[in-house]
Structure 1
Amino acid sequence: MVRSWYMDNKLDDPQDPHIGEEIDTKQMCDRTGVEYWYFHPDHIQTEHSSLEKLKNDRHYSYEDEVTVQPTMENYEKKLETFFNEHLHSDEEIRLVLEGSGYFDCRDFDDRWIRINVFPGDLLILPAGIYHRFIPDKNNYIRAKRFFVGEPVWLPINRPADDHPARKTYLEEKVVRYRNGNQIVVTGDSIS
């Protein structure tokens, strides 16, 4: 299951863990607006009513799979793109099927939180959150991607503070968080 921590300030290999202060899943969700679910890996490929309900409730109408590994075309270039800090105008939804990796998300105080994902972990990164991705030292992750409508994966590199998705993220998530109205985005632990 997912682990998360504030990253240390070292600037060496991005595939190293860079473990700083560890935080639990609820803290990670509360401090970023990221939503988290867990689906037992043995049940993901079979009919899973909880996953189907989530997809229906959030109107995910398209899904595909992506595998990130050294044999993929332009692997090094793709890693650069994934690891460059960016945001999207839509949610980013990933369900890990195999392997592991790191999603780094900026918290509401602009500090990096590293989210270490494993099979069964599903993350929903809100539109407008600054984030990046890198596989861990195993250099392998296979994940399902979910979309509302046709797939759009357009990274908008930082700085993008004037982008409408970023403004909405700041208004809906950060302002409420800082005003003491903790947002409930932890999802359910589903097995």
Structure 2
Amino acid sequence: MVTQDQLQNNSGVVYYKVDLDDTLSMKKRLSRVRSEHSACPMDVLTIDESVIDLEDKLELLYEPVEKDEDVVYMVLEGSMYVDVEIEEDEWIRMQLERGDLVVIPKGLPHRCTTTPKNFVKIQRFCQKQDPMIQG
């Protein structure tokens, strides 16, 4: 078990608890995160028993990845695990539930999976495109 401060100090991951029932508070938090990380909503992903080839999809999500931009996840419903690798083969597991929002810094290996309930609905965010670079 690590504290939020230890998590941030050891990995750079930033964690927030968002009150999804308080629309004003949620909008303020999302606005701040979006501004600080140049992030905009990308999609909403639901993983549950109705997903075709669920086991294959879960296997794919569990493969460690490193992104060249910050990764932002917010759990809208259900729960999931997100693991981050802080050193070679040394992982920290976070259990995220409704209202949890994490920012995983670019270049940090991470992987995801569901809890035994196999149900999570998450909002994913991506980096904003610079209008001056579009071609």
Are 1:87 and 1:129, in contact at CA under 8 Å, matched by a contact in 2?
Answer: yes
Shift of 1:142: 0.5
1:118 — aligned with what? Answer: 97
1:56 — aligned with what? Answer: 35
Structure 2 unaligned blocks of 5 or more: 130-135
Are 1:92 and 1:127, in contact at CA under 8 Å, matched by a contact in 2?
Answer: yes
1:77 — aligned with what? Answer: 56
Pairing 1:132–2:80 present? no
Give the aligned residue type for 1:26: D
Q: Distance in 1 between matches of 2:4 and 2:35?
A: 24
Identity %: 26
Shift of 1:29: 1.6
1:163 — aligned with what? Answer: none
| Match 2:84 to one of 89, 95, 105 | 105
TM-score, scaled relative to structure 1: 0.61
* Structure 2 CA distance for partners of 1:48 and 1:137, relative to 1, 3 Å: same
Give the aligned residue type for 1:122: L
Describe the superposition over 1:43-100 as per-residue Cα deviations: whole angstroms up to 9, x where unpaired: 2598622222321332223432111112112211110111112212222110011111
Give the aligned residue type for 2:68: S
The structure 1 segments of at least 4 consecutive aligned residues displaced by more than 4 Å after TM superposition are: 44-47
Q: Distance in 2 between matches of 1:45 and 1:126?
A: 26
2:16 — aligned with what? Answer: 37
Q: Distance in 2 between matches of 1:111 and 1:44?
A: 37
Give the aligned residue type for 2:5: K
| Match 2:125 to one of 138, 146, 163 | 146
**Size of the alignment, in residue pairs?**
129
Matched residue of 2:22: which SS? helix
1:184 — aligned with what? Answer: none
1:7 — aligned with what? Answer: none
Q: Distance in 2 between matches of 1:66 and 1:132?
A: 15
Q: Distance in 2 between matches of 1:88 and 1:66?
A: 18
* Structure 2 CA distance for partners of 1:47 and 1:80, relative to 1, 3 Å: closer
Are 1:32 and 1:108, in contact at CA under 8 Å, matched by a contact in 2?
Answer: no
The structure with the largest alpha-carbon Rg is 1
Matched residue of 1:87: which SS? coil
Pairing 1:87–2:87 present? no
